[in-house]
Structure 1
Amino acid sequence: MHQEIDTLIVTPEEMGAIDRAAATSGLSSFALMERAGQAVAAVALRRFPSALRFVVLCGPGNNGGDGYVAARALAQAGAVVVVHALGEPATLKGDAATAFAAFHGSVKPLSDCAPRVGDVVIDALFGAGLTRDVPDAVASLIAAVARAVVPVLAVDLPSGVDGRTGRVRGAAFEAEATVTFMCRKPGHLLLPGRSLAGALDVFDIGIPARILARHGGHMRINSPAVWRLALPVATGAIHKYVRGHLVVFSGPAAATGAARLSATAGLRAGAGLVTLLSPHNAAPINAAHLTAVMLKTVDGKKDLAKVLEDERLNTFVLGPGFGGAAAARRYVRLLAEHDRRLVLDADGISAFRDDPDALFSVFAEGPVRLVLTPHDGEFVRLFPDLAGDRTLSKIDRARNAAARSNGVVILKGADTVIAAPDGRVLVNDNAPPWLATAGSGDVLAGIVGAHLAQGMPIFEAAASAVWRHGAAGQRAGEGLTAETLISALDGFDQIK
């Protein structure tokens, strides 16, 4: 599959449009279903060679049609196959009806299904298109399969997982593996869907890339393929001033560690110089801990205005351990007035909780200069209406927030979403669970700042920082601390 298409994420609605366009172009829709079902059978035999019996659950739509094709292929391969149907198979339409007619085995009602030791369940009930809670009969069977502790292979997406949001609709199978076709759906990447899908196999069933590109949106998996060309290029003539000068604000004397983590991460991530702006009372503590990071005292707007006279200082990180909300608001307004690029994190975000528009308004005009890095708790402080709208996916929330703030939004979590005001969205999938540790977010803010200081476009700077953060977490391993995470950051030349 073409690398650009391999990163594409499509919603269930977009996938439906892709399927229709493929049929209109002259491709046989049943041939596509045949390839999909054959792929499911191949994965089942490869992943579960010792299965005593394959129990195929077929739904009332095309996902069920894939199941009937898989059941036929498994039987032809000599496997023991039992098929259970939701609803009456005789009422199937189109390709699903053709697939059922080509399966010559018996089909039992779903209510007769009784999983037992040695079974592998192939879930072809609903797939990614589910938009309502599963019926009670399906919820009961999901519970029975869980009690029996038998593996589940899901077709497209575990039944019960909403393909657009990743949420569970009443109940959902927990699959050991999932087979999907052509492109990932949001439900494969957003939690809890990602954890319920298990290992994911994406099969190319023959839909041309031009059709995928025409009907897909602007969602991609965050990977170097998306932003590698925007990375800084090292040459023999490079020096520290070319690599940019990052500035990080420190908090008061009792809360300086978070800012130092950001500053140190920024230096490690490639900024040529990093300066920590420290209140006077915190300067001795910061000075005792800093070596390569420079230190300057700033105790108010007048001091900051003097710093801003140096045009080379164009990227700032404000928020980690910062504390004072009123000072944060004053500094942010001053940075915006001087057209600086700003990574706003932690306390910097919370400073605007009572009046988010006071933040958005100062960055509303001109090119995008703001990066927001909230976790869910911080997100609700700036975007309470978006956070409370249960119809929105995490992708929807981040995209709407980016448009409202005229900033790039990094909505953090195990399924971090990066969104730009122009509608582009990336979903990150390389972050290990042990990144959820104190100081990890401070490190991320520093990496984003370093990328911006080096002149990267703002969306690509944010996306590549999130990816490098995840890669460093994998390299540092379980039990990492923020300090070891910084040490595990690789250089740009190591990004594949």
Structure 2
Amino acid sequence: MSHELLSPSEMAEADRLAIAAGPFDGIGLMRNAGAAVAAVVLKRYPNATRVHVLCGPGNNGGDGYVVARLLRESAVDVSVWASGSPKGDAALAASECPVEARPLSDFVAEMGSVVVDAVYGAGLSKPLSGDAAKVIDIAAELNLPVVAVDLPSGVSGESGNVLGKAFRARTTVTFARKKPGHLLLPGRELCGEIVLADIGISDSVVAQLEPRTFENIPALWLGRFPVPAVDAHKYKRGHVGVFSGGPSATGAARLSALAAARSGAGAVTLLSPANAIRVNAAHLTSIMLRKLDTVADVDEFVGSRRPSAFVLGPGFGIGEKTREFALAVLNGARGQDGGIDGLVLDADGVTSFRDATDALFEAASRPSAPALVMTPHDGEFVRLFSDIAEDKDLSKLAKARAAAERANATLVYKGADTVIAAPDGRAAINDNGAPWLATAGSGDVLSGIIAALLAQGMPAFEAACAAVWIHAEAGSRFGPGLIAEDLPLALVPVLRELVESRGKAAE
């Protein structure tokens, strides 16, 4: 399954490169696209009383004229409604269509019919209004199923935002690769089922674009997913240290620690203040426990036990101590021979730096610094990156990228459409989440998974992407009734399948 995502401008360049390489010219690609959409309509709506094909003036509309021609050839009752005069290859497709087009402004429909939306697609850059907006209202009022070509008209292929108004599709047929707007909200909810069709744009053409945006699926990171060697012992599998809060705030850290252990870390130590030792000891078995109250204690732990990764923030508290501990970890040595691979900064750890971002970002920028992974939700993102968050011209994807570059960190910008961004410009959009994960403590589990994968040698971007997918997959499979305490054990079948898949891929 292809995991690269192409922006509308990248898709236009892919079209150009594919046409130059052959064997299909522009109208050839258009005919292939129309055929893919027509096949979906015939398969899903064999009993439709009529299909209304809405055609814009550009290439999206050209696809629509091909759809109308093929449906008419299949003895389907078809009406064509046009917005503007077709141009370029679309004009040729219109000349081949035997169905006379009527103005979109005259659109009427009946119950039982189907709408094919080929008005604008992914390239729309201004708010949708006028005749197209009226048709959206009519289709919604009659509850007509809509099959969208490329993207529902009104949805930005770049950001997933609704520009003015947008169709709500039952099915969206897109070509070669998905766009960010297919996965970012609210676009994702308006696309319905997404069908990715091969129209003759080869993988080698896409590779020439060197895509930097991806759908977060296992194909993106499975090759880096850790599988223990036969001779592995617990410290070869990585050692994670999780900082605990005080006596009344220990649960979040224990969730992170248990998730790290379940996710393959060979050893996990809960780093507890002295006044919370007894509380934590009463709840731990395989998780080790160590008293830690000062930066000197952090340094001593690093020197004596050589942890690979840390989690700081869940239930820890906001303030100077949090900042000092984070900077102590980031000022440690990175790399082999006992170096620290990474720090996962979550919750209170993120918020503690709202007035001290320069210190955090400078520490993360040291050439020998451990990798920094931050996991903010919307509110925490604003605290660290207020100017980026308030820029209405930026999509969630663009905001995550800008923040990751500024912080020199891998950023997990959480939400129903979580975006993972690396400081080098790579980014991935996650879409396998579920509402059951919106429960207290869920994010603490995610932090533990990331730390475990970092500790086992997975690079920061791949570790964050894998952890987000695994966390979401476990929550989706568990379903209703999920609480955070369920998640560590729910990870097991997901992890087993990934290990098996990694083994098969290596054969």
With the shorter chain as reference, the TM-score category is over 0.9
How is 1:189-228 mapped onto 2 (pairs within 5 angstroms)?
189-228=183-222
Q: Deviations over 1:319-343 (max 9, x none)?
A: 1111132111011111111133200
8 Å contact 2:417–2:430 — kept in the other structure?
yes
What is the aligned partner in structure 2 of residue 258 from structure 1? 252
Matched letter for residue 85 of structure 1: A
Question: Of residues 24, 29, 34 in structure 1, which corresponds to 2:26?
Answer: 29
8 Å contact 1:10–1:216 — kept in the other structure?
no
| C-alpha deviation, 1:207, in angstroms | 1.4
Structure 2 alignment gaps of length 5 or more: 334-339, 502-507
What is the aligned partner in structure 1 of residue 414 from structure 2? 412
3-state SS of 1:247 partner: strand
8 Å contact 2:3–2:215 — kept in the other structure?
yes
Farther off after superposition, 170-179 or 483-492? 483-492
How is 1:51-200 mapped onto 2 (pairs within 5 angstroms)?
51-87=48-84, 89=85, 92-200=86-194
What is the aligned partner in structure 1 of residue 446 from structure 2? 444
8 Å contact 2:129–2:165 — kept in the other structure?
no
Q: Deviations over 1:204-249 (max 9, x none)?
A: 1011221111125211111221211212222321121111110001
| C-alpha deviation, 1:307, in angstroms | 1.4
How is 1:403-482 mapped onto 2 (pairs within 5 angstroms)?
403-482=405-484
3-state SS of 2:299 partner: helix
Question: Of residues 13, 18, 29 in structure 2, which corresponds to 1:17?
Answer: 13
| C-alpha deviation, 1:426, in angstroms | 1.4
What is the aligned partner in structure 1 of residue 308 from structure 2? 314
Q: Deviations over 1:41-94 (max 9, x none)?
A: 10011111221111111111110000010011111111111111112x3xx221
8 Å contact 1:14–1:216 — kept in the other structure?
no
What is the aligned partner in structure 2 of residue 283 from structure 1? 277
What is the aligned partner in structure 2 of residue 338 from structure 1? 332
How far apart are the structure 1 equivalents of 2:226 and 2:68?
A: 51
How far apart are the structure 2 equivalents of 1:49 and 1:344?
A: 53
| C-alpha deviation, 1:413, in angstroms | 1.2
8 Å contact 2:265–2:456 — kept in the other structure?
yes
Farther off after superposition, 191-200 or 296-305? 296-305
What is the aligned partner in structure 2 of residue 7 from structure 1? 3
8 Å contact 2:237–2:266 — kept in the other structure?
yes
3-state SS of 1:108 partner: strand
8 Å contact 2:470–2:495 — kept in the other structure?
no
| C-alpha deviation, 1:258, in angstroms | 0.9
How far apart are the structure 2 equivalents of 1:259 and 1:209?
A: 44
Matched letter for residue 359 of structure 2: A
8 Å contact 2:111–2:144 — kept in the other structure?
yes
How high is the TM-score relative to the length of structure 1?
0.96
8 Å contact 1:8–1:216 — kept in the other structure?
no
8 Å contact 2:228–2:237 — kept in the other structure?
no
How high is the TM-score relative to the length of structure 2?
0.94
Farther off after superposition, 227-236 or 410-419? 227-236
| C-alpha deviation, 1:489, in angstroms | 0.5
What is the aligned partner in structure 2 of residue 377 from structure 1? 379
3-state SS of 1:380 partner: helix
What is the aligned partner in structure 1 of residue 504 from structure 2? none
3-state SS of 1:237 partner: coil
What is the aligned partner in structure 2 of residue 243 from structure 1? 237
What is the aligned partner in structure 2 of residue 234 from structure 1? 228
How far apart are the structure 2 equivalents of 1:207 and 1:337?
A: 47
3-state SS of 1:289 partner: coil
How far apart are the structure 2 equivalents of 1:224 and 1:122?
A: 33
| C-alpha deviation, 1:140, in angstroms | 2.1
Matched letter for residue 452 of structure 1: L
Matched letter for residue 17 of structure 1: E
8 Å contact 1:9–1:216 — kept in the other structure?
no
3-state SS of 1:174 partner: coil
Question: Of residues 45, 49, 52 in structure 2, which corresponds to 1:48?
Answer: 45
Matched letter for residue 8 of structure 2: P
How far apart are the structure 2 equivalents of 1:443 and 1:311?
A: 23
8 Å contact 2:318–2:351 — kept in the other structure?
no
8 Å contact 1:231–1:492 — kept in the other structure?
no
3-state SS of 1:343 partner: strand
Which 4+ stretches in 1 moved above 6 angstroms?
Answer: none
| C-alpha deviation, 1:355, in angstroms | 2.3
How far apart are the structure 2 equivalents of 1:70 and 1:310?
A: 69
Farther off after superposition, 304-313 or 449-458? 304-313
How far apart are the structure 2 equivalents of 1:161 and 1:38?
A: 23
Q: Deviations over 1:430-487 (max 9, x none)?
A: 2122212111111000000011111212211111111111121122122211111111
What is the aligned partner in structure 1 of residue 337 from structure 2? none
Matched letter for residue 14 of structure 2: I
| C-alpha deviation, 1:394, in angstroms | 1.4
3-state SS of 2:135 partner: helix
Farther off after superposition, 46-55 or 124-133? 46-55
Matched letter for residue 275 of structure 1: T
How far apart are the structure 1 equivalents of 2:190 and 2:318?
A: 41
Q: Deviations over 1:92-117 (max 9, x none)?
A: 22110001101111211112112321
How far apart are the structure 2 equivalents of 1:160 and 1:245?
A: 49
Matched letter for residue 374 of structure 2: L
The percentage of aligned residue pairs carrying the same residue is: 52
Structure 1 alignment gaps of length 5 or more: none
| C-alpha deviation, 1:403, in angstroms | 1.1
How far apart are the structure 2 equivalents of 1:460 and 1:183?
A: 21
3-state SS of 2:289 partner: strand
How far apart are the structure 2 equivalents of 1:311 and 1:289?
A: 22
Distance 1:381 1:324, change over 3 A: closer
How far apart are the structure 1 equivalents of 2:162 and 2:359?
A: 36
Farther off after superposition, 275-284 or 119-128? 275-284
How far apart are the structure 2 equivalents of 1:289 and 1:395?
A: 40
Q: Deviations over 1:310-361 (max 9, x none)?
A: 2521310001111132111011111111133200001100001112112101
| C-alpha deviation, 1:181, in angstroms | 0.4
| C-alpha deviation, 1:492, in angstroms | 4.1
